[in-house]
Amino acid sequence: MWAAALLRFIRKRIVLGIIFLFSLTYCIVSFMKEGSSTTSYEIDTLPVRPLDRSFLWHSPKDDLNATDMKVSACRNSVQGKVLIVDDRGYVCSRGNVLPNGCCNIDAENTKRYSCETCKESGCCSIYEYCISCCLHPDKKQVLENVLGKASETLNVLFASVTDHFELCLAKCRTSSQSVQHENTYRDPKAKHCYGEIPIAGS
Amino acid sequence: MKLKVRLRQRHFRCIGLPFLLLLLTRFKYAETCSNESFPTQFVKVKFTTQVVKNEYIVAFNAYYKSQAREKFIAAALNGLDDRHWKIIARNNPASDYPSDFDVVTLEEAENSQDGLDALRLHPAIRRVTPQRMVHRSLHFENETDFLGDADNSTNTESFERWQSSRPMKRLSLAVNKQFWQSTGRHTSRRLLRAIPRQVTAILQADALWHMGITGAGVKVAVFDTGLAKTHPHFKRIKERTNWTSEKTLDDGLGHGTFVAGVIASHRECLGLAPDAELHVFRVFTNNQVSYTSWFLDAFNYAILKRIGVLNLSIGGPDFMDHPFVDKVWELTANKVIMVSAIGNDGPLYGTLNNPADQMDVIGVGGINFEDQIAKFSSRGMTTWELPQGYGRVKPDIVTYGAAVRGSAIMGGCRTLSGTSVASPVVAGAVALLASGVLHRGNILNPASMKQALLASARRLPGVNMFEQGHGKLDLLRAYQVLNSYQPQASLSPSYIDLSECQYMWPYCSQPLYYGALPTIVNVTILNGLGVSGKVVNKPAWHPYTPQFGHNIDVAFTHSEVLWPWSGWLAVSIAVTRAASNWEGMAQGHVELTIESPPEDGETEPRRSTVRLAIKAKIIPTPPRHKRILWDQYHNLRYPPGYFPRDNLRMKSDPLDWNGDHIHTNFKDMYQHLRNGGYYIEVLGSPLSCLDASQYGTLLIVDPEEEYFPEEVAKLKRDVDAGLSLVVFADWYNVSVMRKVKFYDENTRQWWMPDTGGANVPALNDLLSPWGIALSDSVHEGSFNLGEHEMYYASGSSLLKFPESGVVVSRSLKDQGLEILDSDADSVSKTVPILGLLQSRPNEVEGDDATTEKIFSSPSGRVVVYGDSNCLDNSHLQKDCFWMLDALLEFTSTGHMPSIFKDNSAKVTFPSSDEPLPQRMEGNHLYRYSKVIENHMGTMRTRELPACPHLVWAKPQPLNTSAPSNLYKAQKLLSVGVEGDLPLWRVAPGAAQVDVDRDFGGGLGVDMMDSLAEEEGIALLDLAPALLVISLAAAAVLLACRCYRSRTRPRRKRVTRLRRLMAVLNAGRAPTV
């Protein structure tokens, strides 16, 4: 009984028209929505990392008392051909890396906060020395300046950095700032910079 | 009765499934676990039966012993002569027991049934039937045969090929933009069956999936054109970043989607590692623009994010882009496994792309589904090491790269070809393998992965190593190798057999002999011990005394530090003086030890010793006139500088970048000369280092470099002493050079060529002692020389040639004029293009003593031709190898071939004070030259470098011998889990990985299913909108139908139904 009534209701031209119009508008609306929803998000809108308290600046005191208790493990620069630098700022040869990843401080050539091969400008020819130099507590001001002025793409990078060591690892790598004409270094002799990269007139 | 049983070739996992043959009805086997749709074969079972004459089966109404049965039959046939009947003895274990039948032969007269009737009448006999013989035959038939030729187009289906033809930029190795999304493609069955196979199925990735290895826990970075976040094929898009100037993260081109799909798609067209964590880096704009600086920042981010596997389906010829190359090293040093496409510039040799040509990167070439190297796949040795050294073997590995199915930009699938397809196949495999060995902790690194892939690859027959590397990717074997991997060093190639054809081409194409320049093999050391390592002590050379190893000398040079994860070992091999007349094979091996600092809590440095077997074929030194020297030292190419193409018509390829080596773009010429019996050596040092008395002819083709004054003087002396010189020059015109400058998008600066096709002013310096000079005009055109058609593609002409020589002139167009002024009408004029000269030592006339000496010592000959394109494979239109043969006949014997004599004409050259072509003002050749340098703004010649001097390794002979066939599957050291891996121990019906695809369905249904699926896919993206529209349309239609049905009488459908039933019944009825 009610079914027949419903059927009759549906068969009415006006009802069909309404259904059709409704679907049409829904269709158009959903098309519009799809068009606009896929544009930029994610990384494009990542905020610049605020250097608040959550950012861990390295200080030599951290491990002054730690040396007594023995540091359990270090992160280090992994990649080096000959040298390795650990997160305390020690540079040593690959052979002097302890099983826990730290440099052996007792080894002859191990140096801390070494700025060998680095220039006044904050650029070094060897990556590991750049990091070691960068980890020096004095360089905090320089790094804060760098972070303040970093370009958009570099901000993406620095946004995922959590502490001083990681910042130095990332900052000392060659980047878009290190090249001119795309395929040549601005300064092939000092391409790893912890400070601002000078606009070189090489 | 005829019976057809349709079977599908099934996966090994299905073997345990119940297997039924139904004899009377057509049987469709419901396939439940395979997604393989190719190739389909049928088993045809045929029965033929025939009645065997005079043999009858006599069935009794109960079981009787054989004696009783015999009595019954004898009684029934009472009266019949017992010669006429016999019971056939059945010798089987059942014959001791009572039976209910016997087979009887009963010979009766024609048309007589007495005996039979008598038998039938006997009360104990139930039935008598004639004996039948049944023949059953089985044979396989391909479905293609079965269906006739409806399917011939399966593999010739045209598909889009992605190629890079603009080597200036670092290109995505895929270019064309049109998709073949014509909807008609999937509407007929024929076309559907043309859809290529699922690459995951061919690589048997499902075997690993069933073990629970699905790529989970591995971070895979895709550096490409981006990817839509909502693409239905992907489960785990962890992050997307944009490094381009365009403000979008989505793929507007389809390349990035496809590549990501091959790695990680989990629907429709499957990827290899569906559970891998995808990190999408957008480094290409939709216009395929990308810059080194974008890559640098993106790579830094990849390091920071600790990416495990990185796919780069891109490449370019600029391996001297130091910031980029350094950054790739840095990435692998940080344990990122880099997989990159070798390039789409084949079949020309010398076309490898960077970064795939780096030692630390896995360079991937493409093959088709017939296991042939895909035509587009780049090949040939690396050209970094030229001119002094020899190139490394690349690509490392090959895999399917032609007509592979992958994700399309809007969902659904599409087919693509290119090495940028092959690269993600390997990247996906690497991700899958990596996730399979996560439990093994630290063993995984770029070197160990590469070692496992190379050691497990399957070699393709008849293809040389500069095309296929180690062979075809074998995923399962790679898993086995990796699963039992133990940190070690290995070599690529893993042995040197200079006589093994085709694999060791070009080494196998020319045997060694005393006096030849050393043959160099550039071996790559892969060091799985650590990111940094070194070769301890010196590699040791152990010749095998019984196998004449002492007849070869071996020298080594190797990288100081093996970093990152790799290094090179150059093995120079020469024949000892003692073997100058010896012929045979010499064998031995090299042993070297690699050391890396301790890791994982070890205290001792890690060490690994590897062996490199060596085998060489030696022949007595060939005569001087058969020996040719190819000058490599004076060939310069891009990179580093802009050295323009030799054929000015080829505007798409502006650079001369294939190395100009006899084993790269002059490969065909080399092969032709070898077939002609000439021996060719390559000179990688200045002409002053050359021992001219050894060679008949010096071949200088398309040289760009300058010459040391010492070289000019030395060459003159050598020619006087009997060496011949053949020069194939090329165009050089300062105005044309200025015209072909271009703006390089990548380096964002103007590029001005530093020479023309060849360096004509430098050549003129070299040829001046003979009074020969080339002009700076540029000519082009076709002509005939004798019977031969020739094509002159942008060459110069002779400006001066001595009277005594033979000169050939032809009428050619002035191409220089055409290029400078495109409106100008082409002007043809007759120009001298080829000159042949019998040289005489310096004319010191009047001195009788010297003139006499001249005739007693015949000096060499000089030949100059104005164009090198007819020898160069790069843009070869018509080769002139025949002419080279004729010229070599002249230079080696002094006999002037008639073809040149007949075609020569007297040419009046302009007066000798005509100015010679000058070098372009302000060119930067000095930056790339080994000969000149810039000194306070003026060019000056550098100091002549010392000639290379090899120190032969001290032989440490061994009294052993090795098998003559050195090739065997490379074995890596392994921990003791080899052998029984749980690979095959998967229960049939084991839970499927959650890959959203139903592989089920009967055969016919299966086809239909996939048909529906294919169409469904295309619809899926426009999903909600289309759904609503169709709903509305359905409603409207329904309404209309209702209206009509009221007015019209209903049609009778009974008849149709009945007909249908009849058909069904007929289908089931036996046909015989």
State pLDDT tens for residues A137-179. Answer: 988 888 888 888 878 888 888 888 888 999 999 999 999 999 9
Domain-embedded: residue A170: yes
Identify whether residues A89 and A34 lie together within a single domain.
no
- d(CA A136, CA B110) in angstroms, rounded, equals 119
Q: What residues of chain B lie within 8 A of the CB of A153, using their CB?
A: 243, 294, 297
Q: A179, B749: Cβ pair inside 8 Å?
A: no
Residue B455 bridge partners (DSSP): none
Question: What pLDDT score does B745 carry?
Answer: 76
CB spacing of B1028 vs A26 below 8 angstroms? yes
Residue B553 is predicted with a pLDDT of: 96
The overall average pLDDT reported for chain A is: 81
Nearest CB among B239, B250, B1036 relative to A20 is that of B1036
* C-alpha of B325 from chain center: 24
Say if A144 falls within a structural domain: yes
Q: Are residues A109 and A157 in the same domain?
A: yes
Distance CA(B573)–CA(B518), nearest Å, equals: 5
Dist CA B306 CA B129 (whole Å): 82
Tell me the chain A residues in contact with residue B296 when contact means C-beta distances shorter than 8 Å: 174-176, 178-179
**At which of A44, A59, A75 does a domain end?**
A44
pLDDT band at residue A56, thresholds of 50, 70 and 90? Answer: confident
Say yes or no for a CB contact (<8 Å) between B321 and A42: no
Could you tell me the sign of the dihedral formed by the alpha carbons of B560, B563, B569, B570, in that order?
negative
Q: Choose, out of A25, A29, A42, A79, the residue to mutate when testing the contact with B (most B CBs < 10 Å).
A: A79
At residue B106's C-alpha, the angle toward residues B102 and B111, to 5°, is 135
- Tell me the C-alpha distance between B906 and B922, whole Å: 38
Assess whether A34 and A90 both reside in one domain: no
State the alpha helices, DSSP H only, in B340-495.
Answer: 419-436, 446-456, 465-468, 475-483
B224 is catalytic: yes
Higher pLDDT, A19 or B339: B339
Name the pTM for this structure: 0.76
Q: Chain A neighbours among B 734-753 (CB < 8 Å)?
A: 746-749
CB atoms B323 and A157 under 8 Å: no
Whole-angstrom Cα distance, residue B919 to residue B917? Answer: 7
Q: Which residues of chain B have pLDDT under 70?
A: 1-50, 79-83, 93, 108-111, 134-197, 842-857, 969, 975-1032, 1035, 1038-1072
Q: Which helix (DSSP H) or strand (DSSP E) does residue B934 occupy?
A: strand B932-935
Report the run of H or E that residue B1059 belongs to, with start and end.
Answer: helix B1054-1068
Do residues B776 and B791 make contact, with C-beta atoms less than 8 angstroms apart? Answer: no
Between chains, do A181 and B748 touch, taking CB under 8 Å as contact? yes
- Which of B420, B423, B492, B794 is the catalytic position? B420
Q: How far is B1017 from chain A (nearest CA, A)?
A: 18
Tell me the C-alpha distance between B528 and B669, whole Å.
40
> Using CA atoms, how far apart are residues A92 and A85, in angstroms rounded to an integer?
6
- Under an 8 A CB cutoff, do A183 and B334 touch? no
Nearest to A153 among B243, B564, B1039 (CB): B243
For chain B, domains (ranges, CATH) are 42-138 (3.30.70.260), 199-485 (3.40.50.200), 520-618 (no CATH), 624-841+858-941 (3.40.50)
Min distance A37 CA to chain B CA atoms (Å): 10
For B831-858, the DSSP string reads: EEEEEEEE--S---TT-HHHHHHHHHS-
Q: What is the DSSP string of B36-74?
A: -----EEEEEEEEEEEEEEEEEEEEEEEE-HHHHHHHHH
Nearest to B1031 by CA among A41, A141, A20: A20
List the single residue in A with minimal CA-CA distance to B336. A79
Task: Give the distance from residue A96's alpha carbon to the nearest chain B alpha carbon, in angstroms.
Answer: 9
Of B323, B605, B1042, the CB nearest to A179: B323
**A110 and A189 assigned to the same domain:** yes
Spatial CA neighbour of B284 closest among B315, B308, B263: B315
Q: Which residue of A has its CA nearest to B1031?
A: A23
Cβ atoms of B675 and B695 within 8 Å: the answer is: no
% of chain A surpassing 90 pLDDT:
38
Residue the block writes with tokens 């990185």: B310
A12, A155, A182, A191, best to mutate vs chain B, most B CBs in 10 Å: A182
Chain A: nearest CA to B649, how far in angstroms? 28
Select which of B255, B266, B279, B634 is catalytic.
Answer: B255
Cα–Cα distance measured from residue B886 to residue B901, given in angstroms and rounded to the nearest whole number: 12
Tell if the CB–CB gap between B1035 and A153 is shorter than 8 Å: no
Query: Are B239 and A43 inside 8 Å of each other by CB?
Result: yes
Q: Report CB contact under 8 Å: A179, B292.
A: yes
Kindly state whether residue A78 falls inside one of the protein's structural domains. Answer: no
Same-domain check for residues A92 and A180: yes
Contact B1039/A11, CB-based, under 8 Å?
Answer: yes
In B327-403, at which residue ranges do the beta strands (DSSP E only) sit?
A: 337-341, 362-367, 397-400
Q: Are residues A29 and A92 in the same domain?
A: no
Chain A residues with CB-CB distance to B229 below 8 A: 38, 42
Report CB contact under 8 Å: B333, A79: yes
Residue with tokens 């003895």: B89
CA angle centred on B115, ends B114 and B121, rounded to 5°: 90
In this complex, which of B228, B229, B749 lies closest to A181 when CB atoms are compared? Answer: B749
For residue B539, say if its preceding peptide bond is cis, omega within 30 degrees of 0: no
The count of other CB atoms within 10 Å of the CB of residue A135 is 29
A131 domain-assigned = yes
What is the sign of the dihedral through the CA atoms of B535, B537, B539 and B542? Answer: negative
Tell me which amino acid residue B688 is.
S
Assigned token pair, B170: 């670092």
Same domain, A39 and A131: no
Q: Closest Cα partner for A178 from B597, B219, B321?
A: B321
Establish if A54 belongs to a structural domain. Answer: no
Residues constituting chain B:
1072
- To the query of whether residue B420 is one of the catalytic residues in this protein, the response is yes
CA distances in angstroms from B913 to B771, B773, B916, listed in the order given: 12, 12, 9
Chain B residues lying within 8 Å of A95, measured CB to CB: 597, 605
Residues of B in contact with A10 (CB under 8 A): 1035, 1039
Secondary structure (DSSP) of B605-618: PEEEEEEEEEEEEE
Say if the Cβ atoms of A181 and B747 lie within 8 Å.
yes
- How much is the pLDDT for B9? 28
φ/ψ of A86, rounded to 5, equals -100, 175
pLDDT value, residue B409: 92
**CB–CB contact A183 B322 (8 Å):** yes
| A202 domain residue, yes or no | no
Contact with chain A for residue B70, Cβ under 8 A: no
User: Within the 317-336 window of chain B, which residues sit less than 8 Å (CB to CB) from chain A?
Assistant: 318, 320-324, 326-327, 330, 333-335
B894 in contact with A, Cβ within 8 Å: no
Structural domains counted in chain A = 2
Cα atoms in the Cβ-side hemisphere of radius 13 Å centred on B1049: 3
Contacting residues of A for B320, CB less than 8 Å apart: 183
Using CB atoms within 10 A of its CB, is residue A44 exposed (0-12), middle (13-18) or buried (19+)?
A: middle
Give chain B positions within 8 Å (CB) of A181: 747-749
Total residues belonging to chain A: 202
- Measured CA to CA, the distance from residue B793 to residue B870 in angstroms comes to 8
- Residue A28 sits in the same domain as residue A113: no
What would the 3-class secondary structure string for B528-553 be? Answer: CCCCCEEEEEEEEEEEEHHHCHHHEE
Same domain, A37 and A92: no
Same domain for A174 and A88? yes
The single residue of B224, B318, B867, B872 carrying the catalytic annotation is B224
Question: Do A31 and A125 lie in a common domain?
Answer: no
**Burial class for B239, CB neighbours closer than 10 Å (0-12, 13-18, 19+):** middle
- Residue B665: which of B632, B640, B707 has the closest Cα? B632
* DSSP one-letter code for B245: S
Residues of B in contact with A131 (CB under 8 A): none
Cβ separation of B598 and A26 shorter than 8 Å? no
Residue A129 pLDDT exceeds 70: yes
Q: pLDDT tens across B643-653, in order?
A: 999 999 888 88
Q: Residue B55 is which amino acid? A: E
Q: Quote the domain boundaries for residue A7.
A: 1-44
d(CA B175, CA B178) in angstroms, rounded, equals 9
**How many angstroms separate the CA atoms of A135 and A49, rounded?**
19
Which chain B positions have a beta carbon within 8 Å of A178's beta carbon? Answer: 296, 323
First to last CA, chain B: 4
**Domain presence at residue A119:** yes
Which helix or strand (DSSP H or E) is residue B298 part of? helix B292-304
pLDDT digit string, tens, across residues B292-332? 999 999 999 999 999 999 999 988 899 999 999 999 999 99
Residue A160 to residue B305, Cβ atoms within 8 A: yes
Query: Does A137 reside within a domain?
Result: yes
Q: Does one domain contain both A172 and A112? A: yes
Task: Report the relative pairing of strands B806-814 and B779-785 from DSSP bridges.
Answer: antiparallel
Phi, psi of B501 (to 5 degrees): -100, 145
What is the Cα–Cα distance from B438 to B433, expressed in whole angstroms?
A: 9
Contacts of A42 in chain B (CB under 8 A): 229, 239-241, 249
